[in-house]
Amino acid sequence: MSFLRRLGFGQKTGEKPTNAERKHFMPLNSYGAEYGYLGQTDMADDAATAAMARLAYAQNPVAHRSVRMIVEAAASVHLQLFQADEELTSHRFLDLIRQPNINMAGQEFLEHCYSQLLLDGNCYIQQLTNAENLPETLYSLRPERMRVILDDQGWPAYYEYKIGNKKHLFNQQLDGITPILHQTFYNPNDDHYGQSPFKSARIAIEIHNAASKWNKSLLNNSARPSGAVVYRGQEGQNNLTDEQFNRLKQELEQTYQGQANAGRPMILEGGLDWSAMGFSPKDMDFIEAKHVAAREIALAMGVPPMLLGIPGDNRFSNYQEANRNFWRQTILPLVSRFTSGLASWLSPAWHQSLELKLDLDKIQALSGEREALWRRISAAEFLTLEEKRLAVGYSPLPAGQTIKPKLELNDE
């Protein structure tokens, strides 16, 4: 029996698509080896990549911190709702963003969505409507449990969500708002499933993990390279017996190995001698290899290495510049594409063209850029007040309203 059939795919249940639709079922392949990626050279399997990404998030400190920095920063961005050029300060859409469901606040919900997008390359959001057929709650669904079923034209017709032995089918061909919003990162090898940024960092993650295990092994062996116990027996006797060899090996493991026994003098019986073995500088290059791997992981995630405390070449003169680049090149594009898809999905429920915009004025990392822009626009005498407001992203003043000039106080 195949792996997918053991999971329940292909079996008859209550609400199922037709056989014509079932043949267009788009399964992800098996997760591969135990860790999803170790020992594999072919990474065309996106499910194995997703399993590797989740393992990297759980075990690799650089990968974990990179994801946390991105999702926490992205979820902290203040969002504004607009209809045309008018900002809406009170709307059910805003309430839904602030409290998507009874179990999550808005920031926690957004962190889940961004994390799934980074780790898996896919993010699935389910919406439930109220009696008035308006969105009432939003839920973030686990990507590894979701499967796409295509119609005859190759478009998603159903999404199948599986938890244990239970499966639920979401019909995407309903009138009005579809029950599932599927957001992805671009994947050149698949039309429907996204690609995680971790896929390009797979080798770097393996190198970084291997270097960490190497360091751990050194600590377990007194934090120094091991040597050799040389037996110089009597004439004509150059080898230890099996009993002598096993007893010597057991004594070395129990008495002299490990950090608790570091520096402990070794007692050798007659005919045994200790010969230390060291590493050349070339052999110690694994430390630099670990730093290079860490920088490559950060590069794949879009986090400047300086922000992660990774030593080596940095492209920025100071931390503030690196942080500003992090927001401009990583956070803002991610939030913009995610909120654009969310607004396009839900706004038809209110029969309005709604748009979610980022409130850049409340992003502390970009405050220096905003101040410089304000100074330049304010000093531009060839612009009117309304043109200056539009240039910095503000709407025109209401009819009849003016801004009082700043009073200058003269010291007497």
Domain ranges of the chain: 1-223+281-374, 226-277
Mean pLDDT across 306-335 = 84
| Position 118 confidence tier, pLDDT thresholds 50, 70, 90 | very high
Please determine, for residue 385, whether its predicted confidence score (pLDDT) is greater than 70: yes
Helix, strand, coil share of the chain (percent; to 5): 45, 15, 40
Does residue 32 sit in helix, strand or coil?
A: coil
The winner for highest mean pLDDT among 274-283, 329-338, 397-406 is 329-338
Q: Please choose, from the candidates 85, 106, 156, 28, the residue with its C-alpha nearest in 3D space to the C-alpha of residue 342.
A: 106
Q: Please choose, from the candidates 87, 112, 110, the residue with its C-alpha nearest in 3D space to the C-alpha of residue 98.
A: 110
Does residue 274 sit in helix, strand or coil?
A: strand
Whole-angstrom Cα distance, residue 84 to residue 86?
A: 6
The winner for highest mean pLDDT among 208-217, 219-228, 287-296 is 287-296
How deeply is 283 buried, as exposed, middle or buried, from its count of CB atoms within 10 A (0-12, 13-18, 19+)?
A: exposed
The confidence score (pLDDT) of residue 66 equals: 92
Higher pLDDT, 246 or 276: 246
Q: Please choose, from the candidates 149, 76, 71, the residue with its C-alpha nearest in 3D space to the C-alpha of residue 117.
A: 71
Please determine, for residue 5, whether its predicted confidence score (pLDDT) is greater than 50: no
Mean pLDDT across 79-101 = 89
77 close to 70: Cβ distance less than 8 angstroms: no
Least reliable range by pLDDT among 30-34, 47-51, 102-106, 107-111? 30-34
Q: Please choose, from the candidates 111, 67, 114, 117, the residue with its C-alpha nearest in 3D space to the C-alpha of residue 308.
A: 67
Does residue 206 sit in helix, strand or coil?
A: helix
161 close to 13: Cβ distance less than 8 angstroms: no
Mean pLDDT across 20-42 = 40
Please determine, for residue 110, whether its predicted confidence score (pLDDT) is greater than 90: yes
**Angle subtended at Cα 332 by Cα 330 and Cα 338, rounded to the nearest 5 degrees:** 100
pTM of the predicted model over 0.85 = no
Whole-angstrom Cα distance, residue 368 to residue 360?
A: 11
Amino acid in the structure at residue 212 = S
Q: Dihedral sign, CA of 260, 265, 268, 274?
A: positive
Render pLDDT for 256-288 as a digit per residue (tens, 0 to 9). 565 555 555 565 666 666 666 665 555 556 677
Location of structure tokens 């170790």: 38
Q: Residue 60 contacts by C-beta under 8 Å, 6 or more apart in sequence?
A: 205, 208, 209, 297
The confidence score (pLDDT) of residue 330 equals: 93
The confidence score (pLDDT) of residue 173 equals: 86
Mean pLDDT across 406-410 = 53
The confidence score (pLDDT) of residue 375 equals: 82
> What is the phi/psi pair of residue 387, to 5°?
-65, -35
Whole-angstrom Cα distance, residue 56 to residue 50?
A: 10
Please determine, for residue 394, whether its predicted confidence score (pLDDT) is greater than 90: no
The confidence score (pLDDT) of residue 274 equals: 63
Percent of the chain having pLDDT more than 90? 22
The confidence score (pLDDT) of residue 379 equals: 81
65 close to 187: Cβ distance less than 8 angstroms: no
Mean pLDDT across 76-99 = 90
Please determine, for residue 45, whether its predicted confidence score (pLDDT) is greater than 80: no
Q: Which residues pair with 181 in a beta bridge?
A: 125
The confidence score (pLDDT) of residue 363 equals: 86
